[in-house]
């Protein structure tokens, strides 16, 4: 047994063990971490099978984006695990039946692809271009229209998800872009012309020396 074959069996065992722990772990965080391990093991298996593009895509897309989002959501939400596990064995037969049907469908599709006798023999020029370049040529030449249809479907799904989750909130302080665009200077600033108001100067306070004189003059006026 050579080294690539030994590594293939090791990564396969780790992949199966991590996948089993994903569905049996009691903690959602542990299940998500085991799923990350399963993705890494699957990418290593694909690297051994010379599928470099699929391996890098699995690590960048699922591990780097999807699983990080799952971990953030699981760790931020207060999930009652005991309530989620209630009725697990009640739904287990139906879930097992669905899993067996999915496995049989995948086997029916994938097993004919492992027939080496019907596989085309690549020429020397194709071997020199590499796996990723050959995949790009096949996608953007022979499967261009299915690729465009899949892109449109994904775009429609994104727009539908945003439309379903977008709700008007009363406590939202977001601005309406359409109202900002239609705003004019006359609606925001108004110039009002007013006369200038000048306050009268305050009266000077009476000094202490003039106070007896004012009192004497008031007595003379009273006598007269």
Do 13 and 60 sit in the same domain of this protein?
A: yes
pLDDT of residue 156: 95
Residue 210 placed within a domain? no
User: How many structural domains compose the chain?
Assistant: 3
Do 145 and 75 sit in the same domain of this protein?
A: no
| Complete DSSP assignment for 92-150 | HHHHHHHHHHHHHHHHHHHGGGG-GGGSPPP-HHHHHH-HHHHHHHIIIIITHHHHHHH
Host domain of residue 95 = 87-119
Do 1 and 66 sit in the same domain of this protein?
A: yes
User: With 0-12 CB in 10 A as exposed, 13-18 as middle and 19+ as buried, what is 60?
Assistant: exposed
Do 60 and 112 sit in the same domain of this protein?
A: no
Residue 168 placed within a domain? no
In sign, the C-alpha dihedral spanning 31, 37, 42, 45 is negative
Cα separation of 4 and 18, whole Å?
Answer: 21
Residue 128 placed within a domain? yes
pLDDT of residue 159: 92
Residue 94 placed within a domain? yes
CATH number, domain at 64?
Answer: 1.20.120.1200
Contact between 54 and 46 (Cβ < 8 Å): yes
Which residues, other chains included, contact 45 with Cβ-Cβ below 8 Å and sequence gap of 6+?
Answer: 8, 11, 12, 15
pLDDT of residue 24: 84
Residue 201 placed within a domain? no
Residue 169 placed within a domain? no
- Please give the chain's pLDDT, 224 residues, in tens: 788 889 999 999 999 999 999 888 888 888 888 988 999 999 999 888 888 888 888 888 888 888 888 878 777 776 666 676 677 778 888 988 998 999 899 888 888 777 766 666 666 666 677 777 888 888 888 888 999 999 999 999 999 988 887 766 666 677 777 877 887 777 777 777 888 777 777 777 665 454 554 555 555 555 55
Do 45 and 65 sit in the same domain of this protein?
A: yes
Do 100 and 114 sit in the same domain of this protein?
A: yes
Residue 8 placed within a domain? yes
Do 71 and 133 sit in the same domain of this protein?
A: no
pLDDT of residue 216: 57
Do 78 and 92 sit in the same domain of this protein?
A: no
């Amino acid at each position: 047994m050579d080294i690539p074959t030994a590594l293939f069996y090791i990564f396969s065992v780790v992949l199966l063990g991590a996948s089993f722990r994903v569905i049996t772990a009691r903690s959602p965080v542990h299940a998500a971490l085991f799923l990350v391990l399963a993705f890494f093991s699957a990418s290593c298996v694909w690297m051994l099978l010379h599928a470099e593009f699929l391996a890098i895509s699995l690590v960048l897309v699922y591990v780097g984006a999807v699983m990080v989002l799952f971990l953030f959501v699981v760790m931020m939400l207060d999930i009652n695990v005991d309530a989620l596990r209630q009725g697990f064995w009640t739904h287990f037969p139906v879930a097992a039946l669905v899993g067996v049907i999915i496995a049989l469908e995948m086997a029916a599709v994938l097993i004919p692809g492992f027939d080496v006798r019907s596989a085309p023999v690549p020429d020397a020029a194709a071997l020199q271009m590499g796996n990723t370049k050959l995949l790009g040529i096949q996608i953007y030449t022979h499967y261009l229209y299915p690729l465009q249809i899949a892109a449109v479907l994904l775009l429609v799904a994104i727009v539908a998800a945003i439309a379903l989750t977008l709700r008007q909130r009363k406590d939202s302080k977001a601005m309406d872009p359409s109202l900002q665009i239609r705003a004019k200077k006359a609606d925001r600033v108004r110039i009002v012309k007013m006369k200038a108001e000048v306050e009268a100067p305050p009266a000077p306070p009476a000094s202490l020396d003039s106070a007896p004189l004012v009192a004497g003059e008031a007595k003379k006026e009273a006598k007269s």
